Amino acid sequence: QVQFVESGGGLVQPGGSLRLSCLVSEDLWSITAMYWFRQPPGKEPELIAVSLSGGYTDHATSVKGRFEISRDNSKNTVYLEMNNLKPEDTAVYYCGNKPEGGWGQGTQVTVSS
């Protein structure tokens, strides 16, 4: 069982930027896949980014070109760089190593003027 702690969310204006962090309780280099998900109120979770230990990354169409997932294995931390934020990015953001669940507690991102 791996635990995750998300942080870095907050209130930001449209067009602004945030960097989310996900602290992982185990050695990150040993975890094959890490994911970022988001869930707006009343909506199903959406997979938005994946990072594999071999360096592969991919992002959902809704965030491609604006968000970037990365790893710092020395800090056991996964990041999500979020740029050009839009109101539709408002959601609770989660990280984890399985798409089925077992994610962290989440961090709220609100994009509003």
> How much of the chain, in percent, has pLDDT values that exceed 90?
93
Contact 29, 53 (CB under 8 A): yes
Summarize pLDDT for 29-80 with one digit per residue, the tens: 999 999 999 999 999 999 999 999 888 999 999 999 999 999 999 999 999 9
